[in-house]
Amino acid sequence: MRSGPLRFRVVASGFCVVAFALALPGCQKPVDLKSALQIAELTGGWYDAGIVEGSNRLVPSVTFKIRRTPDADVNPLQLNVVFKRIVDKTDEDWDEFFVQRVDFADRTETTPLTVRPSAGYKGDSGQTRAEMLKNSQFRDVRAIIFAKHSSANWVELARYEIPRQILTK
């Protein structure tokens, strides 16, 4: 077995191949998520989160799919769904839900994604879920869906006003 210059060249060549392979993904052209992705089948309402401390609890819920153009390589995708309470016609930060990895099941569309934050409303003692939605202290909520791929910046994909309807699933 040889040592010295030949061994150095073999090790150096191997190092160059590995470095090139690792650098290759960083050279890809960034994907324009706004044009490559589309929110589909967006629905929502107020999910019945059961009884907490003797009172009904409702949390906002959105369900949607993400469609992508066939040529967009965005696997995996990250999502951040921001929930904002609407107070006097202005948005007030309320809660957010982060999805670390979203994969495309059939290569162009995700399975349905349901997002429910931990923030919600707890009814007064004896108050029904329907009465909660009519309470003067109840505030409407807007969900804003952001996506991110690789090291790119977050991109807003959709805004959705949560309708005042009770969901049981």
Structure-block tokens of residue 93: 């930060």
Cβ atoms of 155 and 148 closer than 8 Å: yes
Q: Does domain 31-167 have CATH number 3.30.1340.10?
A: no
Pairing outcome for strands 37-52 and 166-167? parallel
pLDDT of residue 4: 57
Q: Which of 50, 39, 30, 17 has its CA nearest to residue 122?
A: 50
Provide the pLDDT for residue 18: 45
* Confidence at residue 64, expressed as pLDDT on a 0 to 100 scale: 97
The structure's pTM equals 0.79
Contacts of residue 26, defined as CB under 8 A and 6 or more positions apart, other chains included, come to: none
- Both tokens assigned to 60: 């906002």
Give per-10-residue mean pLDDT for the chain (169 aa).
53 47 52 89 95 91 94 86 93 94 82 94 89 93 94 93 93
> What pLDDT shows up at residue 130?
93
